[in-house]
Structure 1
Amino acid sequence: MNLSSPDTNPECLFCRIVAGDLPADVVRRDERVVAFRDIDPKAPVHVLVVPVAHYPDVAALAAADKDLLADVVRVGAEVAADECDGQFRLLFNTGRAAGQSVFHVHGHVLGGRSMQWPPG
């Protein structure tokens, strides 16, 4: 199933997962957002929530499409409701220094254990 569109980047890891070109453990999908398990989880529940359209980070997404950002957050909450009783942390890393390693905006839904503060 190839879902590529003008809003995708064929060299982007997450665009390739969204398009079905790379395998992932998808837990939720709609026409605008895909959620799949992180391959290196940092909590018992660690799901990445990405828009189908390619945006490099959350600031770019917020500037371009506030409704899509709201959809990403909504799907994150739905995943958390299903997997960790609605108790979760939703984290967006923006830039290398902040820990972003894939430059396709993605929210980390973290849950299933007590979270510490500050996060690090």
Structure 2
Amino acid sequence: MNKLPAFQYDEDRSFRSWVRTILLNKWRDGRRLLAARLVVQDLDALPAPADDQEEREERQRLVARALDLIRGDFHPHVWRAFWEFFAADRPAAAVAAELGVSVDVVYSAKCRILRRLRQELDGLLD
């Protein structure tokens, strides 16, 4: 919690909301790292994970960074469909129902984003 020293109390705002926001952001960061690990494991184009733990962690950081970079290239609904289905490992039907789209849209989002990620990482993980 490096943010606590910067906190300034404001009567018009809620301290609980501020703490909740920080915790939610930390949780999201953890989910991003988890997603990066899942993407590395799922990408067929990538070489098998190295035995060296540091190299694996570096690959995960690289994939996480690439995901952050390409996120802006996609509509938020497309990204959310990908993220909920692929990274959060939720059923495609549940994600589709939540977003009000067809299951095909969810699968398409996964394919499009993984294809773009493979392009972004081409040659970087050899």
With the length of structure 1 as denominator, give the TM-score of the two structures: 0.31
Which is helix-richer, 1 or 2? Answer: 2
Which is strand-richer, 1 or 2? Answer: 1
Larger radius of gyration: 2
